[in-house]
Amino acid sequence: MSDLVRITVNEKVIEAQSGANLLQTLLDNGIETPHFCYHEALGPDGNCRMCMVEIEGQKRPQIACDTLVQADMVISTESENIMSVKRSILELELINHPVDCPICDQAGECKLQEYYMQVGLYDSRLGTQKVTQKKHIDLGSNVMLDQERCVLCERCARFTSSYTKTHELGIIGRGDHARIATMPGKELDNPYAMNVVDICPVGALTSKDFRFKQRVWFMKSTPSICQGCAKGCNIYIDHNTPKYEKGAIYRYRPRKNLAVNGHFICDDGRLSFKEQNDDSFKGTQSKNLHISPKKAVSKFQKLIQSEKNHTIIVISPSLLNEHIASVLEFAKIIAAPVFSPLERYSDDQFGDDILRSNDTSSNRWTIKALGIETGYEKFIETLDSTRLVINFNHNLLLEPDVILSNKLINKINVHFTTRQCRNEEDSELSFAYAPYSFVSGSCVNEEGHLQALNAALTPTDEKPDLLELLHILSEKKLSQTLEQIWQREMQNLEPFKGLDYYKIGNNGIALRSNNV
Amino acid sequence: MIVKIVSKKFDITDAHTLQVAKEQGAYSALESAFSKTPSEIVEIVTQSGLRGKGGGGAPTGKKWSLMPQKGDKPHYLIVNGDESEPGTFKDRQILQYDPHLLIEGIIISAYAMNASEAYVYIRGEYKFFIERLQGAIDEAYAANILGENSTLKHKVNITIHRGAGAYICGEKTALIESLEGKRGHPRLKPKKPEPEFYFGNPATVNNVETIATVPYIVENGADAYRQYGTEKSPGTMLFALSGHVNNPGVYEMPYGSSLLEFINEIGGGVRDGKKLKAVIPGGASTPVIKANEDLACVMLDYESMRNVGSSLGTGGAIVMDEDTDMVEALKNLLEFYHHESCGQCTPCREGSGWVDNIVGAILDGVAKKEDLDTLLDVAKTMNGKTICVFAPAVSGVIEGFLKNFRDEFENYIETGRYVKTHVDEITEVACQTSLE
């Protein structure tokens, strides 16, 4: 079944897997084929009838999504006949559509709009009333439904039946009164619910969180990795920095990576962009008061001198590889032991057998691979005989429980953090640094898949890149940029030897797991 | 013209009870069936040329032989009694007057296909007929004809499933979806011939009348059945007659009988002595035939109907007299399809509504002349681009009306009202009958 065969599409010969889905083959080869109901993750359903192609030897146009590739097929996707078929079907798709694009949040990324431009461009012949339906139904889980805009492709309903198996959505009514709805007494309620917004090809399902916040054509999309758990789902960070204004992230969207997350992400990951926009904590502080960066730097340098041999470093297992590399070098310079307790980075309630992992750290693999001490007991033991605690964004120290708080109260606490520390008044020094959306870097997911993050926004002076910060604090002994750190510090770390950030690419690299 | 095979016991009082039915020879075919192997029965049915009576006319034997010979999955027989096609009311006669014939047919067919569970899917509106069949089934269980305690060589259970009122559930794959508890949406067609699947298990869907014909064929042999009808459409069928005729009803006749004779002789001619204007020959979904010389030669078989651009369908003829407003008639039909399109495929979901609205606009006197072209254009888009044959049927209905009565539609658009058109009397012509 999996032989490579040749087929002819629009008079061009392409190679394809025999028995593969024809529509997917066309799409993979960059041949534009309009479709609504087919989705790579959900398979064919054959209801939208948009992906019609002409196959030599077949009497009628066939839907590509329900056709299997056979050797020597001759296919046309753009003959006059097939264009007119597509135009007619699109016309039908639109007769009961409200065409309210100016107030529709999907405008700019709507398949109906795209296909109208590609194959439509006709004048409306509709002389009769359109079917009217409900326009704002709150389905639950931040998903809003506009039944009028819906093309009944059933992707959302199929998503809840085949992917989450929660079966909340279905179709009620028949004919042109058919509409998407939740099952009686149910609301859309599953940890992956908001994916239906992405898979909806039109403006029927929109995100309550995102809608009306930003027009999509103003935004840029940056490929990155969700840091919400150890799965490392691939995402797009959609952001916009208007001229003379501060940039902001408006949403995360899943990015297809069949080796990691497939086509989707969970809702917690999706909404985690909000923390990235949080600007309540910035600059350098001492005991909850802002101090100048200069003063903070000199204070820090004095501290590490005076407390030499009485210092420990704690790093979060969610730090990026580059940050870990830099901190480890820094630890060597000041001869301090490094700990990364895994306490607070697992949640039995979070994981499932779809995408979510109970491991809520995003880079534990690297911590383990580098042999950094992860035990809580060892950490407490050493803590008792120490005076200066330098924390790199570890939750345990940012939000300590009562027992740990009592231990820390007698210590000098220094935090490098992306967010507010709970015991800020006990913190001798706090350096805010830019969270992951602002920097490029890499992390390794729980399966040993090395993946690259790209900076969506630019770090500010008040929230600098941690590499930059350590470069200054180490009196320029440590690398300042991503390129340098991959040339120097990263090469000291066994798993990353011989690799280069720019080699990782958008799909990541599977590392050998025998390093763990 | 009348030949009674399936309708043999229709006129006998209380033939729906087991006692009377048995006196009249019910279940007598079982003995000869069980003396044969299942594959022998499939062979006889194939030889008889029995065609499905649900509208498609597919050869039954071929369908049966798709059931796998090997494998440990249970086989199912599903009997389609969803009879929702306007103008079609034949299966209910069997359910009402001779339910034991259906049960007998189910036992033999289930034996032939090695199925021990049979489902009869009947439209929910047929409450009376469902109760009739259930009564007969209960009697058959009590008499150890059905069920675990059956004394027969092959034990069968029969369960009636009541439909919830959707026309599309008469489509076999939508029927199975509905039977599985899902929404009645037709399934994508398989790439190669294969049986249907009920919860992943091989299944065959047959019409009530088809199954009710099986006992006769098995008892009397393929040739006995083949003595009626034509070469390609052998046997008989329950033809229903409705509309503007004097004697509407259900009559069993061989395939290849004359349509006009059916209307005039058995149907007693057009009501009130009026002239015949048109006939919808096989249930609402078949294209209308205009009353002219061509109609005089139309025979009630699949091939003859295809030659005049229509179809035999379910064999339910709807007769229209000279006063019939064809725009109104089309609107009546399209309203039905608008209401019944399941809404799965775009061309059907949106098209069925649009064509109904266009014809509505013609009736309301607000349509433009171009609208007729739009109507035909939409009909063309609805043809051959959907999962099931619902939309192509609607397309055929529209094209049939516009091909034969376009002037009436144009008049209507121009004047905003029905203008009676002249209808010719059909003159006697010498036809080449396909009944040889």
Structure tokens at A447: 């399966």
Within this chain, do residues B202 and B57 fall inside the same structural domain, yes or no?
A: yes
Within this chain, do residues B297 and B380 fall inside the same structural domain, yes or no?
A: no
Hey, are the CB atoms on B341 and A151 less than 8 Å from each other?
Answer: no
Within this chain, do residues B28 and B134 fall inside the same structural domain, yes or no?
A: yes
Within this chain, do residues B59 and B155 fall inside the same structural domain, yes or no?
A: yes
Within this chain, do residues B202 and B241 fall inside the same structural domain, yes or no?
A: no
Within this chain, do residues B365 and B339 fall inside the same structural domain, yes or no?
A: yes
Hey, are the CB atoms on A131 and B368 less than 8 Å from each other?
Answer: no
Q: pLDDT at position A344, please?
A: 87
Residues of A in contact with B171 (CB under 8 A): none
Q: pLDDT at position A472, please?
A: 93
Q: How far is A202 from chain B (nearest CA, A)?
A: 15
Q: Which of B341, B347, B357 shows the shortest C-beta gap to A174?
A: B341
- Full 3-state SS string of chain B: CCCCCCCCCCCCCCCCCHHHHHHCCCCCHHHHHHCCCHHHHHHHHHHHCCECCCCCCCEHHHHHCCCCCCCCCCEEEEEEECCCCCCCCCHHHHHHHCHHHHHHHHHHHHHHCCEEEEEEEECCCCHHHHHHHHHHHHHHHHCCCCCCCCCCCCCCEEEEEECCCCHHHHCHHHHHHHHCCCCCCCCCCCCCCCCEEECCEEEEEEEHHHHHHHHHHHHHCHHHHHCCECCCCECEEEEEEEECECCCEEEEEECCCEHHHHHHHHCCCEHHHCCEEEEECCCCCCCCEECCHHHHCCECCHHHHHHCCCCCCCCEEEEEECCCCHHHHHHHHHHHHHHHCCCCCHHHHHHHHHHHHHHHHHHCCCCCCHHHHHHHHHHHHHCCCCCCCHHHHHHHHHHHHHHHHHHHHHHHHHHCCCCCCCCCCCCCCCCCCCCC
Phi, psi of B157 (to 5 degrees): -110, 140
Boundary of a domain, candidates B274, B301, B321: B321
Question: Residue B1 domain-assigned?
Answer: no
Distance CA A481, CA A281 (A): 24
pLDDT over 50 (residue A516): no
Within this chain, do residues B390 and B276 fall inside the same structural domain, yes or no?
A: no
Band of the pLDDT at A2, cuts 50, 70, 90? low
pTM of the model: 0.92
Q: pLDDT at position A222, please?
A: 97
Band of the pLDDT at A61, cuts 50, 70, 90? very high
Within this chain, do residues B272 and B180 fall inside the same structural domain, yes or no?
A: no
Domain CATH code at residue B172: 3.40.50.11540
Question: Residue B161 domain-assigned?
Answer: yes
The DSSP secondary structure of A188-223, one letter per residue, reads --STTTTHHHHH-SSTTEEETTTTTT--GGG-EEEE
Q: pLDDT at position B408, please?
A: 94
Q: pLDDT at position A514, please?
A: 45
Q: How many CB atoms lie within 10 A of CB A102?
A: 6
Could you tell me the residue range of the domain that residue B383 belongs to? 326-415
Distance CA A185, CA A172 (A): 14
Q: Which of B368, B370, B386 shows the shortest C-beta gap to A49?
A: B386
Distance CA A45, CA A21 (A): 12
The DSSP secondary structure of A318-386, one letter per residue, reads TS-HHHHHHHHHHHHHHT--EE---TTSB-TTT--SSS--SB--S-HHHHHHTT-B--HHHHHHHHHT-
Asked whether B207 and B54 are in contact (CB, 8 A), the reply is yes
Question: Residue B73 domain-assigned?
Answer: yes
Q: Which domains, and CATH codes, for chain A?
A: 4-94 (3.10.20.740), 97-122+133-207 (3.30.70.20), 218-277 (3.30.200.210), 284-443+456-515 (3.40.50.740)
Q: How far is A115 from chain B (nearest CA, A)?
A: 15
Question: Residue B434 domain-assigned?
Answer: no
pLDDT above 70 as % of chain A: 99
pLDDT, tens digit (0-9, with 9 covering 90-100), for A29-43: 999 999 999 999 999
How much is the mean pLDDT over chain A?
Answer: 92
Structure tokens at B303: 């091939």
pLDDT over 80 (residue A400): yes
Question: Residue B252 domain-assigned?
Answer: yes
Q: pLDDT at position A75, please?
A: 96
Within this chain, do residues B65 and B193 fall inside the same structural domain, yes or no?
A: yes
Question: Residue B153 domain-assigned?
Answer: yes
Domain CATH code at residue B387: 1.20.1440.230
Structure tokens at A96: 């009961």
Boundary of a domain, candidates B298, B321, B344: B321
Within this chain, do residues B100 and B161 fall inside the same structural domain, yes or no?
A: yes
SS3 A485: helix
Domain CATH code at residue B267: 3.10.20.600
Interface test with A, best of B168, B185, B339, B344 (most A CBs within 10 A): B344
Q: pLDDT at position B432, please?
A: 62
Question: Residue B424 domain-assigned?
Answer: no
B358: closest chain A residue by CA: A128
B374 touches chain A (CB under 8 A): yes
Residues of A in contact with B377 (CB under 8 A): 88
User: How many domains does the structure of chain B reveal?
Assistant: 3
Phi, psi of A244 (to 5 degrees): 65, 15
Asked whether B126 and B113 are in contact (CB, 8 A), the reply is no
The DSSP secondary structure of A389-430, one letter per residue, reads EEEES-HHHHS--HHHHHHHTTSEEEEEESS--TTGGGEEEE
Band of the pLDDT at A423, cuts 50, 70, 90? confident
Q: pLDDT at position A139, please?
A: 95
Question: Residue B8 domain-assigned?
Answer: no
Within this chain, do residues B282 and B398 fall inside the same structural domain, yes or no?
A: no
pLDDT, tens digit (0-9, with 9 covering 90-100), for B378-407: 999 999 999 999 999 999 999 999 999 999
A93: closest chain B residue by CA: B346
Within this chain, do residues B317 and B331 fall inside the same structural domain, yes or no?
A: no
pLDDT in tens, chain B (436 residues): 899 999 999 999 999 999 999 999 999 999 999 999 999 999 999 999 999 999 989 999 999 999 998 889 999 999 999 999 999 999 999 999 999 999 999 999 999 999 999 999 999 999 999 999 999 999 999 999 999 999 999 999 999 999 998 999 999 999 999 999 999 999 999 989 999 999 999 999 999 999 999 999 999 999 999 999 999 999 999 999 999 999 999 999 999 999 999 999 999 999 999 999 999 999 999 999 999 888 888 999 999 999 999 999 999 999 999 999 999 999 999 999 999 999 999 999 999 999 999 999 999 999 999 999 999 999 999 999 999 999 999 999 999 999 999 999 999 999 988 888 888 887 766 676 544 4
A45: closest chain B residue by CA: B188
Asked whether B320 and B277 are in contact (CB, 8 A), the reply is yes
Asked whether B144 and B117 are in contact (CB, 8 A), the reply is no
pLDDT over 70 (residue A515): no
